[in-house]
Amino acid sequence: MEDRTDIAIIGGGPAGLTLAKFLAEEGVSFILLEEDSSFYGKPCGEGITPSLAGYDFFDLYGSRKGVERITEEYLLRMDRGELSFHLPNIITSKKEVEEELARQARTKGGDIRMGEQVKRLVREGGSISLMPQGIQARMIVGADGFNSLVRKFMGIPGPTHIGIAATGYWAGEPPGYSCIAEFKRSVADHGYAWWFPRRDDWNIGVGTTNTISFRAQLDRFRARYPEVMDWKTAIVPLARPLRSYGKDTILVGDSASQVIAAFADGILPGMICARKAAEVLCRSSRHDFRDLDLSLYEKAWRKSLGKTFREGYIAHRIMMGVYFSDRLLFQFMKLMMKMNRSS
């Protein structure tokens, strides 16, 4: 017998799981399908901005499980010198955070299914079928990342500007208390390397918008850390956010390029957008979805985050544009630090 649900969520990262949590708390019927058999399928630096647009990470998350360390300072290393600035960052075990979000959703009755890859969506009358599972849903949420199946189903082109990054864990030195980013062409042309201190080790990685030379850059970085054996690679959307809704479909998180491009920061923005989506869906569910207007979702997140996304994208493009000059890059970073202190 086929499963039927009001909402099917495809993707079990922070955005999809945050949506699941808030839907479950309101008793809205949904099924979440995650293609991996365990959480933390997509690697990242695991750092999360504490607050943004009036939203606090811990308020959205509702827990402190998986928090490894909270840092207060960023140290930027460049060929022209070093800069430090105050910027809090919550360093997490992303796997534990995702597991905790799933636990909260399941405790409230949410249906989360792991190891379920949706390969095709088929519109049938007033519902959409997820294949090969045979699940029929009244509406679909794409929280399925850069290569979103839902976005393709909606006919929305993907992000025009991307980055690619790889990350691993390094225990070669005791973790410090500052996040470190290295902007050097010899390390990551049109990108940067990072060292984020966890409780007992470091999340280290390298990312670039120069996808052609990424393999060579990664090989050089890996050679510095031969003891790190397990490297994970991911594509990161760095474009302006995409249209995020259709008649009965919406996108959250990376699938809609809801990322602050200057910092490749997508976890808290994705969670905020998921909260906005939950508000619209829960309100409509009380009227059996008869008044469903998903444009309200896009209007809501653009009102809160539109300016932040726009400014982050502009800053990122300027940063990449001056990368050819060590002097200009250093001066641009100094300006960014000055603006951060005055904001």
For domain 4-342, give the fold. Answer: FAD/NAD(P)-binding domain (3.50.50)
- Measured torsion, CA atoms of residues 216, 218, 224, 226, in degrees rounded to the nearest 10: -110
Strands 135-142 and 249-251 come out as parallel
Rounded CA separation 312/263 (Å): 8
Tens of pLDDT along the chain (343 residues) come to: 468 999 999 999 999 999 999 999 999 999 999 999 999 877 789 999 999 999 999 999 999 999 999 999 999 999 999 999 899 999 999 999 999 999 999 999 999 999 999 999 999 888 999 999 999 999 999 999 999 999 999 999 999 999 999 999 999 999 989 999 999 999 999 999 999 999 999 999 999 999 999 999 999 999 999 999 999 999 999 999 999 999 999 999 999 999 999 989 999 999 999 999 999 999 999 999 888 899 999 999 999 999 999 999 999 999 999 999 999 999 999 888 777 665 5
pLDDT value at residue 290: 86
The pLDDT of residue 343 = 56
Q: At what angle do helices 94-107 and 14-25 cross, to 10 degrees?
A: 20
**Structure letter (DSSP) for residue 88:** E
Q: For residue 1, what pLDDT is reported?
A: 41
How crowded is the C-beta side of 35, counted as CA atoms within 13 Å? Answer: 18
| Structural domain spans, the chain | 4-342
First to last CA, the chain: 56
Whether 286 and 27 have beta carbons less than 8 Å apart is answered as no
Q: Select from 39, 36, 292 the least CA-distant residue to 141.
A: 292
Number of Cβ atoms within 10 Å of the Cβ of 210: 17
List of residues 6+ apart from 145 with CB closer than 8 A: 11, 13, 42, 253, 254, 255
**Residues contacting residue 37 through CB under 8 Å, at least 6 positions apart:** 114, 115
**Beta strand 249-251 pairing with 30-34:** unpaired
pLDDT at 109: 96
pTM: 0.96
How far is the C-alpha of 184 from the C-alpha of 193, rounded, in Å?
8
Q: Are 159 and 28 in contact (CB under 8 A)?
A: no
pLDDT at residue 342, as a whole number: 55
